Amino acid sequence: MPVFYDKRQLVTPGDLLAENDYYAGENTFKENGKIYAACVGLVNCEGRNVYVVALKSFYVSMVGDTVIGKVIEVSLSGWIIDIKAPYLAMLKASDVLERSFRPQRDDLPSMFDVGDLVIAKVVASDRTRGPLLTIREPGLGKITKGQITAITPTKIPRLIGKKGSMVTTIKKETGCQILIGQNGLILVSGKSPEDERLAIMAIRKIEQEAHTSGLTDRVAEMIRKEKSEKKEIGGKDV
């Protein structure tokens, strides 16, 4: 195929990937019939679609995404949420109340205040403005316990793994509940801070080594090793 790189080869911005009858997929662009990489990442080709899986990127919201965010401002009719993306997100009071908002009667800070963590879904977004969120579905709402860690959004699929294999491995080995936001924020909630720490260590390792193979096994092994070392030292679980 007249693509100048092999699959999963590392490319950098400006690298010429293909010419003529190909489509410029994600993180690429076409100029004068030539397709170039726009980001540092691994190049891939599916049919006539040439795209790059970026090694590091920021989150661009899409309708249907589950995201985790932090309330940073209570506004006139809702809340402004930092979802670690170029644009701030918005949660409307009418969404939480399930009716229209009455300013004289409804006290917004008592529902969500600055500093609260929420898990929500994106209901409306276009690439060029802040997304609109909802918490109406089950499993969404305020987060009251656990720890948050962040990884670059492009590595979320790796964290989930094929048919959820990677995240299931972490859950099994650490006993933690793991909620993944498409915006790169992950909530880890376990029976003890020590379990949560192990899960976060695993997530960090995945981010570092996402572009390598055999990762699932190495992650499982690392967690087991850490757990047995702790037992030897006789470390008390906090």
Partner 1 sequence: MTSPVVTRVKQKRIAQLISLGKRFDERGLTDYREAQVETGVIEKAEGSARVRLGKTEVLVGVKIEIGEPFSDVPNEGVLTVNAELAPLASPTFEPGPPDENSIELARVVDRGIRESKAIDMEKLCVVPGKKVFIVFIDVYVLNYHGNLIDASALAALAALLNTKVFNYEFKEGEVQIKRGYKSLPIRNHPIAVTFAKINDKLLVDPLLEEEQVMEARLTVTIEKDEKICALQKGGTGYFTIQQILEAAKIAQQKAAELRKLVVKK
Partner 2 sequence: MSKKKVKKLIDEKDIRHDGRKLDELRPTKIEVGVLSNADGSAYVEQGKNKILAAVYGPREVHPKHLALPDQTLIRCRYHMAPFSVQERKSPAPSRREKELSKVIREAFEPSVFTEYYPRTSIDIFIEVLQADGGTRCASITAASLALADAGIPLRDLISACAAGKVEGRLVLDLNDVEDKEGEADLPLAYMSNLNAITLLQMDGMLTNEEFEKAINLAVEGCKQIYQLQKVALRAKYVEVKEAIKEEAEEQ
Q: Where are the alpha helices (DSSP H) in the chain?
A: 93-97, 108-111, 156-160, 165-174, 193-209, 215-233
Contact 179, 149 (CB under 8 A): no
Show the binding pattern over residues 118-137: x = contacts partner 2 (CB under 8 A), - = does not.
---------xxx--------
Shortest distance, position 14 Cβ to partner 2, whole Å: 3
CA–CA gap between residue 36 and residue 39 (Å, rounded): 9
Q: Which does 212 bind (CB under 5 to 8 A by kind): partner 1, partner 2, none?
A: partner 2
Could you say which of 39, 97, 111, 150 contacts partner 2 (CB under 8 A)?
A: 39
Give, in order, the Cα–Cα distances in Å from 69 to each of 26, 123, 128, 158, 186.
25, 15, 19, 21, 10
Shortest distance, position 22 Cβ to partner 1, whole Å: 36
Show the binding pattern over residues 16-45: x = contacts partner 1 (CB under 8 A), - = does not.
------------------------------
Contact 37, 15 (CB under 8 A): yes
Q: Which does 31 bind (CB under 5 to 8 A by kind): partner 2, partner 1, none?
A: partner 2
What crossing angle do the helices spanning 215-233 and 165-174 adopt, rounded to 10°? 10
Residue found by looking up tokens 């929500």 in the block: 120
Question: 133: which strand partners?
Answer: 91, 122
Of all helices (H) and strands (E), which one includes residue 226? helix 215-233
12: number of CA atoms within 13 Å, CB side?
A: 0
- Pick the piece of the chain touching partner 1 (CB under 8 A) from 103-111, 143-151, 156-164, 207-215: 143-151
Residues in the chain: 238
Could you say which of 4, 10, 23, 84 contacts partner 1 (CB under 8 A)?
A: 84
Show the binding pattern over residues 53-72: x = contacts partner 1 (CB under 8 A), - = does not.
----------------xxxx
Of all helices (H) and strands (E), which one includes residue 230? helix 215-233
Q: What are phi and psi of 134, to 5 degrees?
A: -135, 150
Show the binding pattern over residues 54-93: x = contacts partner 2 (CB under 8 A), - = does not.
xxxxx---------------------------xxx-----
Shortest distance, position 98 Cβ to partner 1, whole Å: 24
Write out the residues near partner 2 by the rule CB under 8 A.
10, 12-14, 16, 27, 29, 31, 36, 38-40, 54-58, 86-88, 127-129, 152, 154, 208-209, 211-212, 214, 218
Write out the residues near partner 1 by the rule CB under 8 A.
69-72, 82-84, 113-117, 143-148, 150, 185, 193, 197, 238
